Structures are given as structure tokens and as C-alpha cells.
Amino acid sequence: MGTGSGSDPESSSSGWSRAPGLVVKALILIGGAVLIKRLTKSTTRWDHSHVVSRSLSGEKFSKEQASRDPDNYFNIRMMSCPAAEMVDGSQVLYLEQAFWRTPQKPFRQRLYMVKPCPKELKCDVEVSSYAIRDAEEYKNFCDRPKDQRPLPEEVIGDIGEHLTTMQLSCCDRGKRCLYEGTAPPGGFPNSWNGASYCTSDLAVLKNNEIHLWDRGFDDDGNQVWGPKQGPYEFKPAPSSSTVNNDVFSPLNIFPQSTLDKPIKGSFILQE
């Protein structure tokens, strides 16, 4: 009897068993291609700017640094939040600093403008600080309900004297920071406490930690205000329960008369 012309059952079964494997391989290749495309997608200039704006925003303290070196650093509260947006997309942030015990009495108030660096400069993000024309109206701006804050158009109108600009670049791989930069060589004019110019250094670290170092120098290059040992290190606010438990910390029980006076080499209270 003939064997017939039908297909071999074993061959057919083997073909079907290979099909799912080919499908899986195809899906892996497609998924890998999509992932690579996403990972290699170029970061835009505005992406860098938005990261820096978000990192600067929020409530931060220098408590840990003050604990390590109370002779040179205070426990300072830094509070910042979005206040307006310029027509070109630049973000305007309100920023204030105050002693931990008296957050309602900020000793420094600024408007920060964050935007991409001009294409001709070798940096990624430009952060400029400005005085506020009517600073009293902005005290505790970020702590207020939005309907009790100056309107964005009012904020833009209150942008005052340009104080300094820091040009930030992405940090090299392996460093703790995400972005870091400083003011251009020569700094910016400043006359507080005998200074002739000032410099500012800013570093944005992971977990929204900010390192800020403002210093003033006289004509001979001598530092006349600002911390000498290094930048202030501001870390995001701890939980409210932790803050309340620290109310009797030695860092927070200085007499108010002491806190109201600038300490040489530690921190500049006004510029």
C-alpha cells in the first residue's frame, strides 16, 4: 500500500511549536527598538530649565548643615514657588529665606527667572535673581492661598533690579549634582558691607537638594560677606512631626536679638 501524500504530523507539529517562539522574538526586538528610541530621545533646552525650576521650588532647610557646623551656618528656611511665566516661557519663581524660628520674617526676598541658556553660550540653564520692587507685599507669598497672592502680571511688573545670573551646566557623570554653575567671571556689582562685586554659585542635586553660595568681595578681592567655608546646603523639608519635635533644638533656641544680627563669615542678611 502507498504511504500517501499527506504531510508528516511530526513536521507539522514542530512548525507550530516554533511559531510562538518567533513571535516572542519579534516582540522583544520591537520593544527593544522602542525603548532605545525613548532612551536616546534628545532632551530639549526647556526640559533642563523645567527640571531646575522644579528642584528650586518647595520648602527646604539647612538644618543638617547647621547641626554639623553651628559656628558658621544657621538653620535657614528657604521657600520658593512658581509666581509667573514670561511670554517666552521663562519661569519666574518667588524665593525667600528666613530663620527657622521666624518664617514670617524673611530677611531675603528675590524673584528668580529660570530659562535655557542662549544658544551661543556653553551652558544649559540660566538662573537670574532680581530684587522685588514692593517686597513687603510678597512676604510669605508661597504660604498663602493662591487667591491671596499678587497676580502673575503684577509679579512681572514688580521685577526690579537685576542682581546676578548663574549659568548652569549638566554635571559630569559620577558627580552628586545634576546641574551646577556660577556667575560669569567678575561677578556683578554689589555695594553691601564694603563690597564692590558679588558672586553666586548654585548646584542642583538629586532629591531636590540645593546648594547656594553667595559672596561679596571688595576691590582687593577680600571677601566681606557670605559664608567662607562653602555653600549653604538646603534639603527638602522634613515631615511636620519632625519639625515640631525639634522645636527645642539648640539650633532653634537662640535669642531673637542674636538671630537678628549678621554673623561675620556666616550669612549675608541683606544685600
- Residue 32 belongs to some domain of the structure: no
**Which residues have a Cβ under 8 Å from the Cβ of 65 and sit 6 or more positions away?**
73, 232, 233
- Residue 87 belongs to some domain of the structure: yes
Residues forming a β-bridge with 94:
81, 111
C-alpha 88/C-alpha 109 separation (Å) is: 24
Residue closest to 81 by CA, chosen among 91, 71, 89, 67: 91
pLDDT band at 259 (very low <50, low <70, confident <90, very high): very low
pLDDT in tens, 7-54: 555 555 555 555 556 655 655 666 555 444 444 456 798 999 999 999
Element holding 126 (H helix, E strand): strand 125-132
- Residue 11 belongs to some domain of the structure: no
Full residue range of the structural domain in which residue 165 is found = 45-186
Number of domains in the chain: 1
C-alpha 46/C-alpha 176 separation (Å) is: 22
- Residue 35 belongs to some domain of the structure: no
pLDDT in tens, 177-211: 999 999 988 899 998 899 999 999 999 999 999 99
Contact present, 75 and 57 (Cβ < 8 Å): no
Contact present, 112 and 129 (Cβ < 8 Å): yes
Retrieve residue 218's grid coordinates: 571688595
- Residue 258 belongs to some domain of the structure: no
- Residue 124 belongs to some domain of the structure: yes
Contact present, 108 and 86 (Cβ < 8 Å): no
Does 113 have pLDDT greater than 60?
yes
pLDDT attached to residue 28 = 61
Contact present, 123 and 181 (Cβ < 8 Å): yes
The pTM assigned to this predicted structure is 0.73
C-alpha 54/C-alpha 46 separation (Å) is: 12
**Which residues have a Cβ under 8 Å from the Cβ of 69 and sit 6 or more positions away?**
229
- Residue 27 belongs to some domain of the structure: no
Average pLDDT value for residue range 52-78: 96
C-alpha 106/C-alpha 140 separation (Å) is: 8
pLDDT attached to residue 147 = 95
Higher per-residue pLDDT: 220 or 250: 220
Coil, strand or helix at 34: helix
Contact present, 235 and 61 (Cβ < 8 Å): yes
User: CATH number, domain at 113?
Assistant: 2.40.128.590
Retrieve residue 151's grid coordinates: 497676580
Average pLDDT, the chain: 82
